[in-house]
Amino acid sequence: MVDLVPVEEVRAAARRLEGVAVRTPLLPVPAFRPVNLLVKPESLQPTGAFKLRGAYNAIAALGERARATGVVTHSSGNHGFAVAYAAAMLGVRAAIVVPENAPEVKIAAIERAGAELVRVEPTMDARLEGANRIEQARGYVQVPPFEDPLVIAGQGTIGLEIAEDLAAIGTEPAAVLVPISGGGLISGIAVAVKAACPGTRVIGVEPELAADARESLRSGARVRWPASDAARTRADALRVEQVGELTFAHIRELVSDIVTVTEDEITGAIGRLARDARLVAEPGGAVAVAAGLNRTDDELKIRKDGPAPLVAIVSGGNIDPSLLAFALSYNR
């Protein structure tokens, strides 16, 4: 049995993150109607993605141990930037292992933050091997991208904010749509949301070209997709080949369903967010909005025309400018 992260740890993370992470708003987008959809733009974080919450919480909780040695992580980009940024804030050395196909916009951000950059082959095994090698050689503390209670607790602060902000206006969400890759974000959000709003559905969203999490949930066991298959999606932040053991325990216990979206729907959502909500989203960051706009009431098992809102997490906005330009001109 795997112990789930308790909501008390999420509340402790919220206290650590005060003054560090932005409390992102819940934004109505009138042009999205008749969908009763609220958007939570984690793209507005200082690092451009939600990953700052988990990375800072983990490094801050490590305290003197991290400061004395340093930290290492592996990442497709956003978590690496978050670790580099948080480590710089806390005066900690950091090494970031990234796949060779990571977007240059994310690579440049990691280097600007002052971290050491290590490139490896674009597979999870290569990333893990690179991080383990640095840990063993230098004694650096690992800050995993998703398979870690402190990282999960940090991401869960998003769920706390959703529940608190909607309670303040006398309602709660019908469902929260969450991008899913390794599972840290949805695990943390599900812990917080289910504690405050037991009747709310927490629904994961991933590209149909990288749908290992949906297959895992439906089969009842973790399924690994080949890296070459997951690499087909332009949602680079969601190319993890398999959810973690700890995160899968949370998903099985707390997540209502996982749905997929197409590459066309992802690209269309990026354009809609930019034009209608004035928000920049990367492909992985736009999948939840894509599901909110394109999946039917029956598919989500909710009433989108009811009084309770549907909340979609925009998890990141670190997008290559040429891809954003393409999405803005995309009409399908």
> Would 306 be classed as within a structural domain?
yes
> Would 239 be classed as within a structural domain?
yes
CATH assignment at residue 34:
3.40.50.1100
> Would 2 be classed as within a structural domain?
no
Buried b (16+ CB within 10 A) or exposed e, 202-228: bbbbbbebbbbbbbbbeeeebbebebe
> Last residue of a domain, which of 97, 117, 142?
142
Which residues pair with residue 38 across a beta bridge? 28, 311
Same domain, 234 and 295: yes
Nearest to 244 by CA among 219, 212, 202, 218: 212
Total length of the chain:
332
According to the model, what pLDDT value does residue 17 have?
Answer: 98
> Would 192 be classed as within a structural domain?
yes
Confidence band, pLDDT 50/70/90 cuts, at residue 251: very high
| Environment class of 245 (CB within 10 Å of its CB; exposed 0-12, middle 13-18, buried 19+) | exposed
- Which residues touch 133 (CB under 8 Å, ≥6 apart)? none
Same domain, 75 and 185: no
pLDDT tens across 285-310, in order? 999 999 999 998 888 988 766 678 99
Same domain, 121 and 238: no
Same domain, 130 and 209: no
Percent of the chain with pLDDT over 90: 89
Same domain, 259 and 133: no
- Which residues touch 64 (CB under 8 Å, ≥6 apart)? none
According to the model, what pLDDT value does residue 305 have?
Answer: 60
> Would 175 be classed as within a structural domain?
yes
Q: Which two tokens mark 323?
A: 């891809």
According to the model, what pLDDT value does residue 146 have?
Answer: 96
Which of 43, 76, 187, 315 is an active site residue? 315
Same domain, 258 and 297: yes
CA angle 191, 194, 196 (to 5 degrees): 105
Same domain, 210 and 308: yes
CA angle 192, 60, 281 (to 5 degrees): 60
Its domain, for residue 107, covers 52-142
Would you tell me how many other CB atoms lie within 10 Å of the CB of residue 140?
21
> Last residue of a domain, which of 142, 160, 188?
142
Task: Report the number of distinct structural domains present in the chain.
Answer: 2
Contact between residue 156 and residue 188 where contact means Cβ atoms under 8 Å apart: yes
- Residue 220 pLDDT more than 70? yes
According to the model, what pLDDT value does residue 332 have?
Answer: 60
Same domain, 73 and 177: no
Question: Tokens 């640095």 identify what position?
Answer: 134
Active site residue 106: no
Mean pLDDT of the chain: 95
Name the amino acid, one letter, at 117: L
> Would 31 be classed as within a structural domain?
yes
Same domain, 69 and 127: yes
> Would 213 be classed as within a structural domain?
yes
From CA 281, how far away is CA 273, in angstroms rounded? 7
Active site residue 76: no
pLDDT tens across 35-62, in order? 789 999 999 999 999 999 999 999 999 9
Same domain, 285 and 231: yes
According to the model, what pLDDT value does residue 273 have?
Answer: 97
pTM, full prediction: 0.95
Same domain, 176 and 273: yes
Side-chain-side CA neighbours of residue 165 (13 Å): 17
Same domain, 60 and 137: yes
CA angle 9, 11, 14 (to 5 degrees): 115
Nearest-10 crossing angle of helices 263-276, 283-294: 90
> Last residue of a domain, which of 126, 142, 158?
142
> Would 122 be classed as within a structural domain?
yes
Q: Which two tokens mark 215?
A: 């297959």
- Residue 159 pLDDT more than 90? yes
Which of 40, 43, 51, 216 is an active site residue? 51
pLDDT higher for 138 or 305?
A: 138
- Residue 66 pLDDT more than 90? no
From CA 263, how far away is CA 248, in angstroms rounded? 25
Average pLDDT over residues 135-155: 97
